[in-house]
Amino acid sequence: MKIAVVFGSHRIEGKNREIENTLRNSNFNHEFDFIRLAEIEIAPTETPISSSDGFSDVLNRLVNADFILLAVSVYCPYPSKFVALMERLLDVSYQNSNKPLKGKIAIVYYCSVKICDETPIKLLFQKYLMDDYRFDTPNYDKYTNNEPNPNEKYHNDVTQYVLDIVQKL
C-alpha cells in the first residue's frame, strides 16, 4: 500500500522527524511518500500562483496514494501552508465532482505534548472529501482514528498513535 504522509508543520525536525523516522524504520510492508509542506511553496487561493508553486505535485501525490495520513501540529489553530493546501483542495473540488481523496485520509492533530481533537480539521476537509456538504459533524465512515480520547489510550504519545493507525491498514 502506498501511504502519503503529509506533515503540515513549518518545521521539519521535532515530532515530524520522529514520526518519519519511526515509520521508515518500521516493519510495515507499505511504501511511504513523505510530503513536508515546510519544503514546498503552496500559495493560498487569493495569491497569484508562481511557477515554483508545488500544489499540482502535492495533489498528484495525494491522488496516487492508497491512503493519506495528515500530521498537523497546532499553530493557532493551523499552520499557514496547511491552510493554503486546504484552500487549494477546496478550489479543485468545485471543479471536480470526482472526490479522489474520499475515504482514504486519517488526520492526526497534535501539539508537542498531546494528541488534539481532529474534529475541526475533519469538518474543514469534509467539503473536499465527501459528497455531503455538512459542516456540523464529521460523517466519515472510513476514518481509522475515531478514538474518543486517544490521549488516554496512547498516553499522549503522538508517534504511537500514528503507528497504530498505519498498523490497522
In sequence order, the β-bridge partners of residue 111 are 114
Please give the full DSSP string across 35-104, using - where no structure is assigned.
Answer: EEGGGS----TTSPPPTT--HHHHHHHHHH-SEEEEEEE-STTS-HHHHHHHHHHHHHHHT-SS-TTTT-
pLDDT at 127: 61
Q: Decide if 34 contacts 7 (C-beta within 8 A).
A: yes
Question: Would the pLDDT of 151 be above 70?
Answer: yes
Domain ranges of the chain: 2-167
pLDDT at 134: 56
pLDDT at 129: 63
Q: What is the pLDDT of residues 16-40, one digit of tens each?
A: 999 999 999 999 999 999 999 999 9
Percentage above 90 pLDDT, the chain: 32
pLDDT at 91: 75
Sheet strand arrangement including 114-116: 31-36, 2-7, 67-73, 105-111, 114-116
Q: Supply the DSSP symbol for 143.
A: -
In whole angstroms, give the CA distance from residue 139 to residue 133: 10
Q: What is the pLDDT of residues 102-121, one digit of tens each?
A: 778 788 888 877 888 777 77
When pLDDT is cut at 50, 70 and 90, the band that residue 84 belongs to is confident
The CATH number corresponding to 2-167 among 3.90.79.10, 3.40.50.300, 3.40.50.360, 2.60.120.640 equals: 3.40.50.360
Instruction: For residue 14, give the C-alpha cell.
Output: 521535532
Please give the full DSSP string across 53-64, using - where no structure is assigned.
Answer: --HHHHHHHHHH
